[in-house]
Amino acid sequence: MFVLGVIYENCTGCHLCELACSYKHGGTFNPLLSRITILTKPEVQTSVQVYCLQCNDAACERVCPVDAIKRDKSGAYVIDYSRCIGCRECAYACPFGAISFDFKARPIKCDLCGGEPECVDVCPHDAIIFGPEEKVSRELKRAKATGVAYGIYGGAESPYRRKKAEEAENFLREIWKRNEGLEL
């Protein structure tokens, strides 16, 4: 089975995944219509993605009174809107908060884009990975072992974060040099 995985430390909070998802599914760039949500916590410099984990024993599927949620050939749970009655039981049952609603009050959740997730293609820092479950699990363990997930698991500071901090510091120094003599 193919799954999505997230290396949280690589996420910069750019929200491109949200925009790509909303455009793929709704033809508009609107993060409210995205099936993936980015939660940014500036106090710990971390962004976390909320998306459907395609659980092996999905609570959303179990509680649906009209059997509108089924697993498709790509391994994703999809919603059959011709059956859905809009009761919201699936959203209440999801322990991860991965089901939201569109402007017509219909539930929306990640469907893995039929096996080719747009969020993976547009992520500029390879924070979102997709592939066979074993491969994704191996990549996530490797990231954790090398201390990439510093903000969440502890470990060595990420060289990526240090590079971004150095770039920001250099940018600020350039601005200061150009405005030398100005009182701030």
- 98 domain-assigned: yes
Torsional sign, CA 137, 142, 144, 150: negative
Distance (Å, whole) CA 22 – CA 110: 11
pLDDT score recorded for residue 149: 47
- 8 domain-assigned: yes
Domain coverage including residue 34: 2-146
- 34 domain-assigned: yes
Q: What is the CATH number of the domain that holds 113?
A: 3.30.70.20
- 178 domain-assigned: no
- 88 domain-assigned: yes
Which residues, 6 or more positions from 45, have their beta carbon under 8 angstroms from its beta carbon? Answer: 151, 161
- 156 domain-assigned: no
pLDDT score recorded for residue 184: 42
pLDDT in tens, the chain (184 residues): 888 999 887 888 889 999 999 999 998 999 999 999 999 877 777 788 899 999 989 999 999 999 999 999 888 999 999 999 999 999 999 999 999 999 999 999 999 999 999 999 999 888 899 999 899 989 888 887 776 544 443 444 445 455 555 665 666 677 667 666 555 4
Tell me if residue 181 falls in helix, strand or coil: coil
90, containing H or E segment: helix 89-93
- 175 domain-assigned: no
Backbone phi and psi for residue 2, each to the nearest 5 degrees, phi listed first: -95, 140
First to last CA, the chain: 57
Say how many domains are in the chain: 1
Distance (Å, whole) CA 172 – CA 115: 43
Q: What is the pTM of this model?
A: 0.74
- 136 domain-assigned: yes
pLDDT score recorded for residue 154: 41
